[in-house]
Structure 1
Amino acid sequence: MKHTMTVWGALALIACSQAAPIHAAELEGRKAINLVSSAGEKLVIGHVDFSPKEGGYAFKLAFAREAFREIYMQETNFLCLSDARKDVCHFPYPPGDYASDDSSGLISESDLRALEHALLFAEKRRAPEEIDINPFNGLYYRLQLIDKHIGGTLFAVDLSRTIDMEGGTKYPIGPNNLEPVNLQYQRFPRLVIE
């Protein structure tokens, strides 16, 4: 099983590394955030507004609240996408309640960590099987600039690193913290911003 997960993860990293860089004019403006199912169906979960800033791009992200169910857990309202078996919930970073602008930051063509951390998720079994989110069940989309959009491949991650930020690192999750997953068994194996 672990060997199969490693193979799938390696293939996902190879696919991401083959991406062509994007040009500034193609990244500017409002772009839709889509979660992509295994069947290729896209679910719009929000949008990102990009504008040039300091040699990179400022972004402001907002979720389409109507696409989510709001679930109160661990003293926070989480925005969740539910099916018969699981809830996939946005995991706000830094932890806490949602602001009127859900997230903002600065990215460059070579550093998308601020946007990756703004798009953290965690999955859990539906209540009553699991009542609260376990940060160990985190989902992380590793983003790449591809042609005229940003594409992300799903990895598993322990999100407790985002809660216990002892080292003072602004973006505590890096490539060494990501675990490959078998993408064919994931509800939303890809994320696309276009």
Structure 2
Amino acid sequence: MSMLDGVSQCWWLSKTCEVNWDAWAAVGTVTAVFAAVFAPSIQQRLVRRKATALFMAAYMHDLVDAHACLRKVDTDMPVGKDTEHSMWVDAHHLISREHRVSYADSLKFGLSRLAVREVDLTKWPAVDLHAATGVVIAIETAKAVLAAATALPDLEKEKIPATLKIIRGGINAALQALALAEAEGNKRFGWLMESYRKRAERR
């Protein structure tokens, strides 16, 4: 005997077949309740996933550009590190305003577009907060690096070493934040593009 015997005594209609319509009605009711409870949750999850992918796509260009710029500047002109190259760069910052201006301009070129961006969650009410938080951290760390670098050219000489250490800490934080945000964006937007590709193939 199976559980289905409680619903219907047979599967082939005949004179001796007895269908328990009350049991079938109960099954239908339970199915309807499950659909009513879980369908909105499933739909909301899908909407959130798509909204997050579109949100990340809106910031990806600036995130990627800022990350690439910061890595290049930190490779060509590293500051605040205990390496021979960095010590040489720090020494030039100390004696040459022109060197400091060039460094600030390099960072402005790569970080300015991201630094002026804002995350307004009233425009993205369905977005995943984890993804939004990553973008906010990337923007704020880029702003901090840019602010310190912009002030660098006109600083008094005795304040330059401490400022370079601050910039070093900011760059480390920004590089990590940008890498994480970029990876999150690639994952989210990659999923969206793949889902649309599969849908197009089915058509």
Higher strand share: 1
TM-score norm. by structure 2 comes to 0.23
Higher helix share: 2
TM-score norm. by structure 1 comes to 0.24
